[in-house]
Structure 1
Amino acid sequence: MLRKTTCFLLFLCSFFSIGQAQSVKKTSLLWEVSGNGLQQSSWLYGTIHITCPEDLQFSAATQSALKHSKQLFLEIDLEAPDAMAQMQQNMMLPEGQSFKSLLPEADYALLATWFKDSVHVDIAQLDRFKPIVAVSLLSRYLLGGTCAQITSVEAALTKLAKESGLTVNGLETIPEQMALFDSIPNTEQATSLVKTLKERDKSREMMQQLIVAYRKGDVQALHDLISSTPEMENYTDLLLYNRNRKWVPILNEQMQKGPAFIAVGGGHLGGTNGVIDLLRKEGYTVNPR
């Protein structure tokens, strides 16, 4: 469950992100980064983090770009030796707190019934975990209405990268990414979870729309769909724009060392504060491929 939850944490960082003006007009998941002193091109790739297995059919251009890179950069490296231990440690509530205490009794009872009937989990097993674990289970269930199985784009890219001898790195550490969610009150996360459950048909429709946009390679549509979600509008800078700005200096340094393949949530690419436009402002040429 920990690895699945980790993948979903990545998904949330893109799913709950509020957009601004449209700036990326062309559609592609793969973008070539050149110029500004680079001896060889690097590559940006938009992911949706968890999706259906049929979406792992990477284009020939994507496979070639990855094969000819020296490093793969993901938001976090799920293959790091202590990744799962760090994740488990950071998913626990502080001593003395419980998931049950975050919600009114009626809402907790609603969740308990749903978890028992739909995912066959006794909600008491989640009592020491932060709400994000319950959110992960619910959202994987909702995505299950779109495809029979769920898989990770990052895991597939990591496998291909290792087969080609690339090193794999994270733009963030697990504690850094978990700290993003710790900035959002646990009570607010729990309340949002209940709302999502009560509006699960609407939430499932939203996920279906995201997958359609992803299959078209339309990162701007992903950005626009994400921008329509009101739940996290107070956390735009926290979950999206501040992270984009933090990543750009790292990418500046690493791309100058050699060709890099950078795979981050598609919601991070579009918009005037997206990674594509931020790299262009640094002097790079960024074009769809």
Structure 2
Amino acid sequence: MVLTSTLLLGQNSSSTSINNTILFRITNPHSTKTSYLFGTHHAFGKTFFDSLTNANIALESCDLLIKENLNIPGKMAEDIINLRNTKTKWKKYLSKTDLSFIKVLFATSPTDYNKMTPTEMYVFLNRYFKQKVCLNKSANDTSLSLDDYISTKAVEKNIERYGLETTKEQINLINKDVEGMPRKIHRRRLANIIDKIRSKDSSYCEETDWYSNMEIDYQLNAPCRNTLVLTDRNNKWIKPINDFLEKKNCFIAVGLSHLMYKCGLINQLKELGYTITPIEIK
């Protein structure tokens, strides 16, 4: 098993372009540990990850899964939202038709949409569009997001898990990122995303297409585009990641954008002396 894994994870890795994979081996000449960096897209899930032979082998070879956050019962997004006392006056943000659409969409949801913010609603609808329209996920498909599915795989394999931040911190970040956005902008982008869902317009699926096809430009020499969401978080995460890499074989699964640009984890790990090797994903 060890020999097979080594052969699979080593094949063509030297010739694999960094822009044609989302899986990277992390090694250090001063350590015997071998870890992996995997760039996720939150809209994908079980079917996609199960098709990635080398990513599954890499995960199974590790002692620790590091992901953005852990879904802890009682502290999940729906729990945090449902505990709020304030409600959003959706008539100020949605047309009568769009509000009816939202009511139907959330009819069986455990989350009280009345307690969501317009920003949280947009994030939810944007992912919903990518899953249902771009990836053709059926209404009866209750499979988890890619990040959470990887987490369930780790639990099955008795692999320890670590969350780089809490779900509450993530929710606060989502809202802070567009703090002060005028109501008319919220209205416009909510109307636009609902229209895309209704029309099932797949012409807006470029992002899921290039991720699925591994047509990725990591732009490692370009500055990060969002200080709050990318730069600050990457700078915060690199310390615990480095600490764990020195002690354990880690599988780091975070959003693909966190690997990209100058401030990305690929560059930050290289600066710390690690060798980052692209691995053929299948």
TM-score tier after normalising by the smaller chain length: 0.7 to 0.9
For 1:5, the equivalent position in structure 2 comes to none
1:252 Cα offset (Å): 0.6
For 2:33, the equivalent position in structure 1 comes to 40
- How many residues align? The count is 248
Report the RMSD for the aligned CA atoms in angstroms: 3.3
Q: 1:68 to 1:240 in 2, by over 3 A?
A: same
Deviations 1:120-178 (A, max 9, x none): 749xx632222245331464145312313364212321222122221111111112111
1:199 Cα offset (Å): 5.5
1:36 Cα offset (Å): 5.8
Q: 1:81 to 1:257 in 2, by over 3 A?
A: farther
Cα distance in 2 for partners of 1:39, 1:120 equals 49
Correspondence for 2:128 among 140, 160, 173: 140
Cα distance in 1 for partners of 2:23, 2:211 equals 12
Q: 1:115 to 1:109 in 2, by over 3 A?
A: same
Higher helix share: 1
For 2:74, the equivalent position in structure 1 comes to 82
1:35 Cα offset (Å): 1.2
1:195-210 map, 5 Å: 195-198=192-195, 204-206=202-204, 208-210=205-207
Is 1:100 aligned to residue 93 of structure 2? no
For 2:60, the equivalent position in structure 1 comes to 67
TM-score, structure 1 normalization: 0.72
CA contact (8 A) 1:219 1:270 kept: no
1:104-143 map, 5 Å: 107-115=94-102, 119=105, 121=107, 126-135=113-122, 136-137=124-125, 139-141=127-129, 143=131
For 2:172, the equivalent position in structure 1 comes to 179
For 2:211, the equivalent position in structure 1 comes to 214
1:44-55 map, 5 Å: 44-51=37-44, 53-55=46-48
Gaps of 5+ in 2: 1-16
CA contact (8 A) 2:49 2:56 kept: no
SS of the equivalent of 1:39 reads coil
Cα distance in 1 for partners of 2:22, 2:227 equals 23
Identity of counterpart residues, as a percentage? 21
Correspondence for 2:191 among 191, 194, 207: 194
**Amino acid of the structure 2 residue aligned with 1:100:** W
1:216 Cα offset (Å): 2.6
Looking at CA atoms only, which structure, 1 or 2, has the larger radius of gyration?
2
SS of the equivalent of 2:239 reads helix
Correspondence for 2:277 among 259, 262, 287: 287
Deviations 1:85-116 (A, max 9, x none): xx23533596455242653xxx4324214335
CA contact (8 A) 2:120 2:174 kept: no
Deviations 1:237-258 (A, max 9, x none): 1112211121111111111111
CA contact (8 A) 2:65 2:154 kept: yes
**Amino acid of the structure 2 residue aligned with 1:236:** N
TM-score, structure 2 normalization: 0.74
For 1:253, the equivalent position in structure 2 comes to 243
SS of the equivalent of 1:220 reads coil
SS of the equivalent of 2:165 reads coil
1:76 Cα offset (Å): 0.6
Cα distance in 2 for partners of 1:121, 1:132 equals 20
Q: 1:65 to 1:56 in 2, by over 3 A?
A: closer
For 2:49, the equivalent position in structure 1 comes to 56
CA contact (8 A) 1:31 1:288 kept: yes
SS of the equivalent of 2:246 reads helix
Q: 1:157 to 1:190 in 2, by over 3 A?
A: same
SS of the equivalent of 2:217 reads helix
**Amino acid of the structure 2 residue aligned with 1:171:** L
